[in-house]
Amino acid sequence: MDEVGARPADELPSIIIAFAPDDLRNLRRERLSNLPVTQQPWLQAIRQREAKAMWWRRVAQKKLPDRQNRQIKAFIRETCAAIPDTLKARRMEALHERIARDFTYDADRDWYFDLTAASRAWATK
């Protein structure tokens, strides 16, 4: 960053943020009169984040032992049975080794593009 002639914007990953004050996303309705009022872009970002805050709090405080949590905890107990709780780095290393050695990668790209096996078979006909 401090080198002479360095071009961090060209060489490093970056995010470009452009504020468009006339964009309709920067308008909100006034509560009582229902008239459109411009709001600051940072306020819109905070409102969007805070709108989901209660949901994220409920997710974080979830204490229900659902099937996936039980399976993960059983996997961790099985993998780290011989390693004491005080050696956290060694436990993480053992988990990483087992996942890298015993698991196979199943790409989920088709799932995100909504391409199931049935839709792929139909598309090839």
How far is CA 44 from each of CA 15, 19, 65, 111, rounded to the nearest angstrom?
A: 18, 12, 36, 32
Q: Is the model's pTM score more than 0.85?
A: no
pLDDT digits (tens, 9 = 90+) for 50-97: 888 888 777 777 766 778 888 989 999 999 999 998 999 999 999 999
pLDDT at 81: 94
pLDDT grade for 123, boundaries at 50, 70 and 90: low
Considering the chain, what percentage of its residues have pLDDT values greater than 90? 23
pLDDT at 1: 64
Best-predicted range by mean pLDDT (13-22, 29-38, 85-94, 108-117) = 85-94
Three-class DSSP category at 9: helix
Contact 35, 27 (CB under 8 A): no
Contact 39, 26 (CB under 8 A): yes
